[in-house]
Amino acid sequence: MTATVAVGLGERAYEVLIGPGLLDQAGERIAPLLKRARSAVVSDETVWGLHGARLTAAFARAGVAVMPIVVAPGEQTKSFDGLAEVIDRLLALELDRGDLITAFGGGVVGDLAGFTAAIFKRGVGFVQIPTTLLAQVDSSVGGKTAIDTARGKNLVGAFHQPRLVLADLDVLATLPDREMRAGYAEVIKYGLLGDVGFFEWLEAHGAQVLAREPAALAHAVARCVEIKAEIVAEDETEQGRRALLNLGHTFGHALESETGHGPALLHGEAVAAGQALAFRFSEAQGFCPTQEARRATAAIAAAGLPTGLPQVPGHPFAADRLVRHMAQDKKADGGKLTFILARGLGQAFVAKDVDAGAVTAFLLTEGAR
């Protein structure tokens, strides 16, 4: 059964389809969006090796030619060098502004292909076919595209909405367990930031989601997309409520920067630790009841995810270095630190002008836990 969630953005509205078997329907779903019967497909070596033949066959059944651009897997590809490589390949394929790019992979591929689509010949359309849990529930929806720089994560990017998102739950069967857990960090985020009922459902059914039990997985992905679609329709360019989706990311991005954006710490693992840190910092600042901070931490830990600095590869970390990374974060405003904090489960809020000294002291305490 396929669930459909609409992202309501007027003339730029699009649908997110969620369910099994969608990869085999990709050609017939995407063909109506094409001016010419062809699409450049940006993917990585791992995803293309596992699923490229199926996608190519699905396009062929609809009479659509596939022009694959296969890049190396990993966060390092989401860079200026990776962007230049993809753009050069597109130019060699002689794509024009009426053509469509298909992003076929996880968050790295989706971000890279989406940002490429935003700037290639001043903007072309693109479709997302996310192949990881993290990408299906979060990065493929909402139009945030970006690449990393040596100074931080996602610092160069654009808002560029996809034309369609196809989230095939079947492809998650090939996802390594570690990647599944990393994606679950973004699933639990939606409960922690604004839907305590969903958080409570995850407390009871999170193990089933991680085990890829079809009904539980379908419910979790659909609920996350529903929440994100509602927020994006209200605040597309993150001027207000959409910032709540960054819960855990200020701490998490600092940890990613300090660990070199490499395989030692996946993005979802960093976000998991960041969410637990955000709840404990909220507790330390007197915003969040201790019991609720502990409950958030316990739910993250139950998924086998890191919840503190000692569990992150590279520990111990210098607190002042982490704070310097936070000062470079794209959410910083006027040189002031901005965090998403919580008054309790499902009660996240934007905290501007957070005192850097308080953050440093907190990190020193956390590092000694």
Catalytic residue numbers read 122, 144, 186, 228, 238, 242, 246, 249, 253, 267
- Secondary structure letter of residue 137 according to DSSP: I
- What CA–CA distance (Å, rounded) separates 274 from 292? 16
The two three-digit tokens of residue 273, written as one number: 């630790």
Measure the CA–CA gap between 153 and 270, rounded to whole angstroms. 12
Residue with tokens 């591929």: 109
Q: What is the Cα–Cα distance from 237 to 330, expressed in whole angstroms? A: 13
For residue 42, report the phi and psi dihedrals to the nearest 5 degrees.
-95, 125
Cα angle value 82/86/88 (rounded, 5°):
115
Of 312, 172, 165, 201, the closest CA to residue 248 belongs to 312
The residues, any chain, with a CB within 8 Å of residue 316's CB and separated by 6 or more, are 309, 310, 367
**Rg from Cα positions in the chain:** 20
Do 269 and 182 form a contact (C-beta atoms < 8 A)? yes
The residues, any chain, with a CB within 8 Å of residue 247's CB and separated by 6 or more, are 189, 192, 193, 274, 275, 278, 340, 342, 348
Bridge pairing between strands 164-168 and 125-130: parallel
